[in-house]
């Protein structure tokens, strides 16, 4: 049985670069399969534009498997679109209705300046990671996997925090453009493991300092970041980040 098709209208943000004034442009697409992903729909749009000798829409993508976090779009007022616990590449067109108008925008935050159209510069996250997202290791032979026993609860929680893909949905959703959930996830995945305790006294302090320097706001405490995170990262990690930060400041 063939997949159902729908006709849709698109309002897509077009912007030449960070210094240019952008605006919405309207497009219409017909016979879009509801089994296709959102990015496949965008591919159809760009193929149509190229055939019309028009500039295609620039947007980020890589793995298209919900792992890389690059496919960041604000769709109908929500990060990654109207579905939950999915990235834009995992969003399917069956989520939308025939004849619906879909509004597509880039992340709206000073920490992620627009590169072009729907593409934003997320290197701020890399700078935050460089400030403390590492562990000291001794070179030499590979240690035995069971040399450092780790409680299962801690290992599971660290793995949950490590599932953060750095897409930036938390920042784009927060009314203060806070990166606290991202920083908290990266601090947690290391703070919960003995290998990460070596830099514990300075990691949270350094990463928060860089986050502030790059212009991200304070946590709004509304929980919007957790609601829109495609990996369901818990707000509990922000509480751990606050504890680590306080401990680091007490130790000096």
Q: What is the pLDDT of residues 137-171, one digit of tens each?
A: 776 776 676 777 889 999 999 999 999 999 999 99
Q: Are residues 21 and 87 in the same domain?
A: yes
pLDDT in tens, 33-48: 999 999 999 999 999 9
Query: Quick one: pLDDT at residue 2?
Result: 58
CATH of the domain at 189: 1.10.1060.10
Average predicted confidence (pLDDT) for the chain:
92
The answer on pLDDT for 1 being more than 60 is no
Rg, the chain, Cα only: 21
Q: What confidence score (pLDDT) does residue 133 get?
A: 79
pLDDT in tens, 86-135: 999 999 999 999 999 999 999 999 999 999 999 999 999 999 999 987 77
- Shared domain for 127 and 218, answered yes or no, is yes
Tokens representing residue 30 in the block: 């017909």
Query: Which pairs with CB-CB distance under 8 Å and at least 24 residues apart come from 151-157?
Result: 154/192, 154/193, 155/192, 155/193, 157/188, 157/192
**Residue 197 reports pLDDT greater than 60:** yes
Same domain, 83 and 178: no
Q: Which of 112, 83, 243 shows the shortest CA–CA distance to 178?
A: 112
The reply to whether 140 falls in a domain is no
Based on the fold, state whether residues 158 and 99 are members of the same structural domain: no
């Amino acid at each position: 049985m063939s997949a159902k098709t729908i006709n849709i209208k698109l309002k897509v943000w077009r912007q030449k670069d960070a210094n240019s004034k952008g605006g919405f442009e309207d497009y219409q697409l017909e016979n879009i399969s509801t089994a296709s992903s959102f990015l496949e729909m965008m591919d159809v749009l760009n193929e149509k534009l190229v055939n019309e000798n028009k500039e295609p829409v620039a947007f980020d993508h890589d793995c298209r498997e919900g792992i890389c976090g690059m496919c960041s779009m604000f769709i109908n007022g929500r990060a990654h679109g109207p579905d939950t616990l999915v990235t834009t590449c995992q969003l399917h067109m069956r989520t939308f209705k025939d004849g619906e108008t879909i509004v597509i925008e880039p992340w709206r935050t000073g920490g992620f300046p627009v590169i072009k159209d729907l593409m934003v510069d997320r290197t701020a996250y890399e700078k935050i990671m460089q400030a403390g997202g590492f562990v000291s290791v001794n070179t030499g032979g590979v240690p035995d996997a069971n040399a450092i026993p780790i409680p299962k609860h801690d290992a599971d929680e660290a793995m949950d925090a490590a599932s953060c893909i750095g897409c930036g949905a938390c920042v784009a959703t927060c009314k203060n453009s806070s990166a606290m959930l991202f920083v908290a996830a990266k601090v947690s995945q290391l703070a919960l493991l003995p290998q990460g305790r070596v830099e514990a006294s300075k990691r949270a302090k350094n990463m928060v300092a860089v986050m502030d320097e790059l212009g991200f706001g304070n946590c709004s405490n509304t929980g919007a970041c957790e609601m829109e995170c495609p990996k369901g990262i818990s707000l509990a990690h922000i509480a751990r980040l606050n504890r680590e930060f306080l401990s680091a400041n007490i130790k000096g």
